[in-house]
Structure 1
Amino acid sequence: MLARSRRRATALLVSAAMVGSAFLLTAAAQPSDGNGWQVGQPRLTTPWTDQVSPSNALPEYPRPQLARARWQNLNGVWQFAGASAGEAPPVGEDLAESILVPYPIESALSGIERHEDHMWYRRTFEVPASWQVGDGQRLRLHFGAVDHAATVWVNGAEVAEHSGGYTAFSVDVTDALAPSGPQEIVVGVEDRTDATWQPVGKQRNVPDRGIFYTGSSGIWQTVWMEPVPDRAYVADLDTATDVDTDTLALTVDSGGNASGLTVQAVVMDGDVQVATAEGAPGRPLDVQVPDAHLWSPDDPFLYGLEVTLRDGDQEVDRVGSYVGMREIGTVRGADGRLRITLNHEVLFLMSTLDQGFWPDGIYTAPTDEALRFDVAAAKRLGFNAIRKHIKVEPARWYHHADTLGMLVWQDMPSMRTGGIPPPDAQAEFERQLHEVVDQHDSWTSVIGWIPFNEGWGEWSREATGRIADSVAVQDPTRLVNAHSGVNCCASHGDSGRGDVIDWHAYTGPADPTPDDHRVAVDGEHGGFGLEVPGHMWFEDGHGYQMAQDGDELTRLYVENQRELIPIAQQRGISGAVYTQITDIEHEVNGFLTYDRRVEKMHVDQVRAVNDAVVRNANRPAVAPTTTDPGTTVPAGVHASGEGHDQAR
């Protein structure tokens, strides 16, 4: 058995409002805030488009896994200008345009609605006097994500550089602050998208009316700041849950000088304290959680976790967090084949593909309610898992998955397709992959990593195997799917590494079989399409097989999903991924239209067949066949060609 229950966390349980089930069809508002910003003209609006304003640009606390009481959101209207390579930062200079942060510049919500390879952002802020920065406190500036390479200046002093459009970064800016009054931030960004080998996922400078979409450049996640104690502060929490012994292993990493300080950890069930432990910063603490309540999609229970740094009886720093007690692993079933387990019980992972694009915000959901909506929609449709496809989301998306109870396969955003990346791009891809894993290995919902998809950006079979091994070493608590769609497209073939054999087939489903050390999954299938006039990005759209109306679309889906049951029983697959949760640009194969206003299938029938698959997939069947998984491309698999989609 492969038991994977160790997890890393820095967390606070933050409740979110439930998403309403009905929305009024409204046109996008056209407000101006007096600072020059005005929303653009999206081709489609969502039910949340007109809720966005300079005073309401993603105001929620952005880091729900390590929360402090004092913080300030820096989203809102910033100054903006396009730039050229090599320009000096515009310190102290007004910029000509206004942008609403954190929406990418190509989006209507940003107010810019165009791409720039190079760009400047500028704003001023004031540090609350009550924070006492410079008098026992220091100021940290945080960026959720900036695509792709960012340099930050505060009051003309360069304070940070970061490369990678999918990971967060922060910096102590205390020494750059003026004694009082307005403080200036300037951010320079370079994002050439698919003109380089940087990881881009599905972004393209020129969308192709196929499977590649509009790019998202610049600041696209929340910018914020917080004070931390000058002496020492909680920087990170590393937790490991053992569901067999009801043990939480916790290591508190600190910033500053924590010498002589003590860590106190308290595990909470609501308002009830269930366990405590004390120890030293940087050293493991074992916390016994009696009769641990396990997390699962059916029961997504999360323990609260309060962590303090103390100097004797004096509190130095306090953060709130949470932890979900769960295991992910594999076990041999009655037929001798490896299958995926959750909390030591075999569970078929019924997933939908979720690419996280929005017609008004592109990479950035218009509101937190909208961000939660897609996860809740997948849950309502009867899925217990999501494949987060070639994109990494803001922290709050994973928090919603944790609280709603959705398992998550996490892709690494790929480099562009076509050709072999040069050695420096290969090294940078690996660096960013490991940074993504490091920053997302705390989420209870995330149960597996997918470094490569269909050979996009892959340079050799041997490298793929080595990278899968390195991810497994970095995070031994989750499954590693070395190569989703290894049978397909630009794949260099099966490295034999990782924990998963993954095939794609459209319309499928795919039917790989486990080997002696890897489970098998259908990594993509389905993709039935339906055009819904008035709710499409273009005047027309495509799917892998088109339907004439919602009744036919539902019938095609139900028949296709039913095929998973004998495949699971006879071939031994442990999960499947249906494409996809929403339409995106020219792709009209979603359960929902791109604007999230129309449900295209009959939800009750979708949920019923999904429930039937999960319930029956692991029941005994006829003796297994002995087909070699191989790496050949069966008919109907996903096409790899840049600029078009050759799927049937």
Structure 2
Amino acid sequence: MKQKKTILGFAMIIHSLYSYAQQPDQEYNHCTLKTRWHSNMEVTPYPRPQLKRDNWINLNGQWEFAITDSADSKPIEYSGKINVPFPIESKLSGVSKKLNPNQSLWYKRYFNIPHQNGKYLLNFGAVDYEATVYLNGKEIGKHKGGYLPFTIDITNFIKNTNNELVVKVYDPTDTGPNPHGKQTLTPSNIYYTPSSGIWQTVWIENVPQSFISSIKTNPNIDNNTINLNINLNSDYKNKKLELTIYIINDGKIINSKSVLVSKGSNQSILSLSIPDAKLWSPEFPFIYDLKVILSENKKKIDEIDSYFGMRKITIQKDEKGMDRIFLNNKYTYNLGILDQGFWPDGLYTAPSDEALEYDIKAIKLMGFNTIRKHIKIEPERWYYYADKLGILVWQDFVNPPQQLPIGSKVEFENEIQETIEQLYNHPSIVLWTLFNEGWGAYDQERLTKFVKKIDSTRLINGHSGEMLYSDNLLRSQPHKPWMNSDIVDIHTYPFPRNTPNLPGKAKVIGEFGGIGVSTYGHQWNDMQGWGYVQANATELKEKYRQMTDSLKILETNGLSASIYTQPFDVEDEENGLISYDREIIKIPIDTLRALNKKLNPFAENTIYSNFHVAQDIDVNDNDNRFNELLAKYNNGNRDSALLRRLVLIATRQKKQDIVSKIGNDYIEILNDPYSFDNLRLIKYITKSPSDKGFRMFLEKSNQIDKILGNYTSSDVLKPIIKKFELPAFKFEPDKNYDWDKILKDVTNKYGEIGEEAALGRIMIEYSGLLQNKPDWEKFGKYYVLYFKKALKHPEYIINMLSWPIFKHINDPETLRFAATVVKYAIDNWDNSPNTIDTYANLLHKTQQTQKAIEWESKALEQIRGTKDEQTYAETLQKMKDNKPTWPQN
């Protein structure tokens, strides 16, 4: 019988399993951090610059909304207003509410149509994740995919006035089969607040019966031509239609062509020459305007404005025979930065179109020529600014869920194809990234070929960070890395390092850096700033200088590109060069540009008039001010901002006596100690029974849990109770405790929370983990007592404790109880094969063998192809033969 799930060590057992998913449904995004565009949101320009029409109606603005259980029919009433297109979790939505996976979000608004000629198309830039659209009471369309646009022909469903538009949204975030990027219901340092619902522009456009539905541009700089695929809708039937294409340079037509649309075909493929073509590049982002007119009997019926850039990207050998990235047949070092596209007030949605443009301008002014757009698809206008301003874009596909649940592969591959089709025409995009650091990776060789087949005009990075270094330790070593990829891509934190040489592939560093520098007063969460390495601003400048020097040396050895993490802080991640609100820059802009010029010769050429990047950071305003600020406190200053900052610095410096003293004073002066923000800080600094916060969480636990989330008070109090009231977790083979007395005393002093803490501690004691002499009878007794109280919020890994119950205990009642405990874990957070296997074995031991066989078969199916497959298969066979799977004495 396998031994893989015996109690493997103290660190594995003492592990919290409750999650942020248990937060309440009140206001969700409590951060008050704003950008400069927060209160200055202008009317959105036409959202699709490469297929632009003049006749459109913008449906952004206030809609009604409601949240229901996902199985419910339409809501009877709508509970409030929401600003579209901002995610419901964001401040700019006006709602800031969480959407749970078992809920649906409903939108409703009314609109009028000025006239009813031709067709009307309803367009959504993006809805995360699944949208069902109703118009005037009828379902008219569905769409899956949280990052991609979709269009519905509403011609046959509209009336002139008072059209009722309803959109139902289901978004499981990271609990379903959908690609979700770095959104999560359990926020951490590198995963962020979800963005559910409508998060890009909604608009209606009026088109003729026959209209231009899409354009595909393929530049060829080697023969100065542009190849065009122009698609029409299928409604023209046997009409005699003519397409006229104009290529325009600075308002002057430099070439044109007219063609008749063939009968029975809705696609025209043609090529136009461009004399002395001007090539697109970051230092010279030249754009040709393109106008396409559809005519019938020489009468214009549809007109599209578009654009394209003449650009070529390849892997070629330089004069030394090294494989390099070549732009327009010229070696170009891709000096890049990892941009995640999050905003403190809008989350996935930028506060305004100007804000979208700001990000790219700021990155160019810092001296970079490349952006890696990290597992997010932006609105079309972001790519328009990338094209117009001139920045190379490495575009990530949005990763599938890491556990690859049923349906996730199909969804991911559909979205790969849709993403390429959607963004194909943008000259700025020069590379597709398939997978990132193993997140949801599968069939890499096949999928890399799949991407190349769809788009052979760009580079493909089959796996960014497939080889990953952290603090000089190699964390992952692939067997056959970068199969079919054009790129050898490693991640190395914090400092850059050399990459392997593989023939025909360019060497790149897909991520490095990550130096965390806090910007006081400009933080998402002043209690939990994070970076791969923490530093102050002065140290950051010197480290960045060292990194650029290292990169320059690596370039001589064949390195073609590097991607620094990152341009802007994102939530708890404070490793950006600019603060999350875009107000503070951590290295002066001129210094950055000068350093980046070592690798990007054009770094200092970019100039934007009347453009403010950010204010320089105050290099002296950091934790080194502690003694100065403490002196103010000792002199009687009790300003709340001063006390908050002092207590946080003292916490980081591990001066717990000062934390408790100043923390108690801080709580004393608060006008509303039970507000969310104040309770969050009190929770963070409460470390002992003498802290005022301890008494608050003990006496007002129900009130606080309603504000901070279920079991928060228990989370705060139990570690303190265990530290100050219970024997420490350590090996004491000759020590005997009167556990009955300890349990009674702690329960009397701290009530149910104390009782639960003591029961858990006693359970671990009798497991034998701490003394190497388990008492299985008592372990089973306290297992039952503990999980009767703590099943929904355990401190310990259920599977690790339930396996010895199966192995060593024969009492039927205890075994049946353990089965219910494990089943609860499976249903709520842990459906791993190990846990399913434990459940199946418990069922088998309690004579529920047929059911056990069904569950062990599920475990075996999940584990197929791994080294454990044979062990699971043997267990399943024993169950089928009705033989014991537990040790026989």
Classify the TM-score, shorter chain. Answer: 0.7 to 0.9
> Shift of residue 79 of structure 1?
0.4
Question: Is residue 2:484 matched to residue 1:497?
Answer: yes
Please list the CA deviations of residues 171-220 of structure 1 after superposition, one character each: whole Å capped at 9, or x if unmatched: 10011113x21101000000010112311111011211x11111100000
CA–CA distance in 2 between the matches of 1:143 and 1:383?
32
Question: Is residue 2:55 matched to residue 1:70?
Answer: yes
Larger radius of gyration, structure 1 or 2? Answer: 2
Equivalent position of 1:471 in the other structure? 451
Distance 1:101 1:492, change over 3 A: farther
Question: Is residue 2:358 matched to residue 1:380?
Answer: no
Equivalent position of 1:606 in the other structure? 592
Equivalent position of 1:203 in the other structure? 183
Provide the TM-score with structure 2 as the length reference: 0.61
Distance 1:158 1:347, change over 3 A: same
Instruction: Report the more deviating stretch, 439-448 or 509-518.
Output: 509-518
Question: Is residue 2:141 matched to residue 1:153?
Answer: no
Equivalent position of 1:440 in the other structure? 423
CA–CA distance in 2 between the matches of 1:351 and 1:278?
41
CA–CA distance in 2 between the matches of 1:514 and 1:70?
54
Distance 1:194 1:39, change over 3 A: closer
Residue of 543, 546, 554 corresponding to 2:541: 554
Question: Is residue 2:608 matched to residue 1:588?
Answer: no
Please list the CA deviations of residues 449-489 of structure 1 after superposition, one character each: whole Å capped at 9, or x if unmatched: 01100000113xxx111111101110111000010001135
SS of the residue aligned with 2:186? coil
Equivalent position of 2:39 in the other structure? 50
CA–CA distance in 1 between the matches of 2:70 and 2:585?
45
SS of the residue aligned with 2:585? coil
User: Which structure shows the higher helix fraction?
Assistant: 2
**Letter of the 2:79 counterpart:** A
Where do residues 69-108 of structure 1 align in structure 2 (5 Å cutoff)?
Answer: 69-90=54-75, 94-108=77-91
CA–CA distance in 2 between the matches of 1:144 and 1:558?
41
Please list the CA deviations of residues 353-378 of structure 1 after superposition, one character each: whole Å capped at 9, or x if unmatched: 10000000000000111111111111
Equivalent position of 1:597 in the other structure? 583
**Letter of the 1:273 counterpart:** I
Residue of 279, 296, 314 corresponding to 1:294: 279
CA contact (8 A) 1:514 1:573 kept: no
SS of the residue aligned with 1:82? strand
> Shift of residue 546 of structure 1?
1.7
**Letter of the 1:217 counterpart:** S
Equivalent position of 2:233 in the other structure? 255
Equivalent position of 1:274 in the other structure? 254
Residue of 530, 544, 551 corresponding to 2:532: 544
Equivalent position of 1:122 in the other structure? 108
CA–CA distance in 2 between the matches of 1:174 and 1:511?
58
**Letter of the 2:216 counterpart:** D
Question: Is residue 2:151 matched to residue 1:170?
Answer: yes
Question: Is residue 2:394 matched to residue 1:409?
Answer: yes
Where do residues 140-539 of structure 1 align in structure 2 (5 Å cutoff)?
Answer: 140-178=121-159, 180-208=160-188, 210-230=189-209, 232-258=210-236, 259=238, 260-281=240-261, 282-417=267-402, 420-459=403-442, 463-488=443-468, 493=479, 494-539=481-526
CA–CA distance in 1 between the matches of 2:338 and 2:29?
29
**Letter of the 2:150 counterpart:** F
CA–CA distance in 2 between the matches of 1:240 and 1:154?
38
User: Which structure shows the higher strand fraction?
Assistant: 1
> Shift of residue 229 of structure 1?
0.2
> Shift of residue 40 of structure 1?
8.4
CA contact (8 A) 1:456 1:490 kept: no
CA–CA distance in 2 between the matches of 1:526 and 1:166?
28
**Letter of the 1:476 counterpart:** S
CA–CA distance in 1 between the matches of 2:216 and 2:327?
21
- Structure with the larger RCO, 1 or 2 (CA within 8 Å, 6+ apart): 1
CA–CA distance in 2 between the matches of 1:342 and 1:513?
23
**Letter of the 1:543 counterpart:** G
> Shift of residue 551 of structure 1?
2.4
RMSD: 1.9
SS of the residue aligned with 1:95? coil
CA contact (8 A) 2:569 2:579 kept: yes
SS of the residue aligned with 1:193? coil
Please list the CA deviations of residues 388-429 of structure 1 after superposition, one character each: whole Å capped at 9, or x if unmatched: 001110000000000000000000111344xx3135211211
CA contact (8 A) 1:458 1:492 kept: no
CA–CA distance in 2 between the matches of 1:59 and 1:333?
45
Instruction: Report the more deviating stretch, 431-440 or 98-107.
Output: 431-440
> Shift of residue 279 of structure 1?
1.8
How many pairs align? Answer: 560
Distance 1:584 1:173, change over 3 A: same
> Shift of residue 545 of structure 1?
1.7
Please list the CA deviations of residues 98-126 of structure 1 after superposition, one character each: whole Å capped at 9, or x if unmatched: 10000000001101111213110000000
SS of the residue aligned with 2:512? strand
Provide the TM-score with structure 1 as the length reference: 0.84
SS of the residue aligned with 1:375? helix
Please list the CA deviations of residues 572-608 of structure 1 after superposition, one character each: whole Å capped at 9, or x if unmatched: 1210000000001111111100011101112112111
CA–CA distance in 2 between the matches of 1:510 and 1:88?
56
